[in-house]
Amino acid sequence: MSLLPLDRSRLRLLAVAAAVSLGGCGGSEVIVEATFPRPLVEQLPVSMGVVIPDELYNFIYTEDIPDQSLWTIALGDANVAMLGPLFDGMFRQTKDVDSLALAAADTSLDGVIEPKLEKFEFDVPQGERDKFVEVWLQYEITVYEPDGATVIEWPVSGYGKSELLRDPEDAVQRAAVVAMREAGATIATKFSEQPQIKEWLGGIGNAAPITGPQAAVDGNATAESSSAPLE
């Protein structure tokens, strides 16, 4: 699955460049870049359309922290790098679709999945006692029927921390990658546990596997992951 259409890629680069230029006026800039592995899970026997909204491609978080600096954190590239292999590993087949409306015309799809990055928080310690930079983020995973009906809106959060050494920007980058891996791990391991997903899979004649990597260890399905936001 390719998540890099040329026009979007250019837009994203422009957005990052603009943000970095703005942040360059005495601020801290982080462009989160990493490679993410394909998950080692049993593939669900469905063909999914994947809609990556522009906001996710171009996600840039800015925050002016009093007594510190203006932080600009670009996660667009990392989102693409994380979600591509993740969905490829989770579903038998994936196909990029530009919009939900276009997916409706594609009869080969069993459903459509649309991830959004809803929340992002981070903390850079200032005191000598604190050693870790922390990042918390929350995706919202929405699954649609091919006709556009919503199957589930599932918030998935991820938390990551990284030791603060000399470079705070590097520590934020590493903590963000840990948080994204955590969110990806939750999506990969808990997706088929969601009651709505089980029902949807049953409805299309492809029941979710009862045992296997995606089955719950304790069998307790929840509609929200367990990570908590930063305090």
Partner 1 sequence: MERLRLIGIAAALPLIGACGVTARLEPYKQTDAVISEGEHVVVLARKQHSTHEAEEEFVQCISDGLSDGKRGLAVHSSKDFEDKMYPWFEPSTAPLSTDDLTVLLARPGVAEQVRETGVRYVVWVDGSTDRVASGGGITCAAGVGGAGCMGLAWWEDDSRYDLTVWDVKDIENEGTIYADYKGRSVMPAIVIPIPLITRPQNHACRGLTDQLRQFLTTPEGYTTPGSSPAPAATADVG
Q: Which residues bind partner 1 (CB under 8 A)?
A: 36-42, 128, 131-132, 159, 161, 163, 178, 181-182, 184-186, 188-189, 212-213, 217, 226-227
Shorter beta-carbon distance to partner 1: residue 98 or 163: 163
Shorter beta-carbon distance to partner 1: residue 146 or 160: 160
**Cβ–Cβ < 8 Å for 124, 171:** yes
Nearest approach, Cβ of 54 to partner 1 (angstroms)?
A: 27
Shorter beta-carbon distance to partner 1: residue 102 or 216: 216
Nearest approach, Cβ of 213 to partner 1 (angstroms)?
A: 5
Shorter beta-carbon distance to partner 1: residue 11 or 209: 209
Nearest Cα neighbor of 55 from 140, 147, 128, 124 is 140
Q: Mention every residue, 6+ apart, whose C-beta is less than 8 A from residue 203.
A: none
Nearest approach, Cβ of 177 to partner 1 (angstroms)?
A: 11
Nearest approach, Cβ of 80 to partner 1 (angstroms)?
A: 17
Q: Mention every residue, 6+ apart, whose C-beta is less than 8 A from residue 81.
A: 33, 34, 35, 36
Nearest approach, Cβ of 211 to partner 1 (angstroms)?
A: 8
Q: What is the spatial distance between Cα 134 and Cα 180, in angstroms, rounded to a whole number? A: 12
Helix axes 168-190, 76-90, angle to 10 degrees: 20
Shorter beta-carbon distance to partner 1: residue 28 or 214: 214
**Cβ–Cβ < 8 Å for 84, 77:** no
